[in-house]
């Protein structure tokens, strides 16, 4: 994938459960926020992931 769009869904673009865990861990390590992995499993869009990261950062 050359570029991600806010509406792109994680699993529809080739993501799997192991990559989901890795992504969440990297977000937590790089940004210092805890994002629930459920965001990827329930919505899966980049927009939802950004929204969850932003919400976690503001608490």
Number of domains in the chain: 1
Q: What is the mean pLDDT of each run of 10 residues along the chain (59 residues)?
A: 83 92 94 91 91 88
- Cα diameter, the chain: 33
Q: Is residue 17 part of a domain?
A: yes
Query: Which residues on neighbouring strands pair with residue 35, listed in sequence order?
Result: none
Residues 6+ apart with CB under 8 A from 21: 37
Q: Is residue 1 part of a domain?
A: no
Q: In terms of residue numbers, what domain contains 42?
A: 11-57
Q: Is residue 20 part of a domain?
A: yes
pLDDT at 57: 87
Q: Is residue 4 part of a domain?
A: no
pLDDT at 1: 59
Q: Residues 58, 24: contact at Cβ < 8 Å?
A: no
pLDDT at 34: 92
């Amino acid at each position: 994938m050359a570029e991600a769009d806010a509406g792109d869904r994680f699993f529809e673009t080739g993501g799997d459960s192991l990559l989901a865990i890795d992504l969440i861990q990297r977000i937590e390590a790089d940004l210092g926020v805890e994002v629930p992995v459920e965001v990827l499993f329930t919505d899966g869009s980049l927009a939802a992931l950004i929204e969850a990261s932003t919400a976690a950062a503001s608490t």
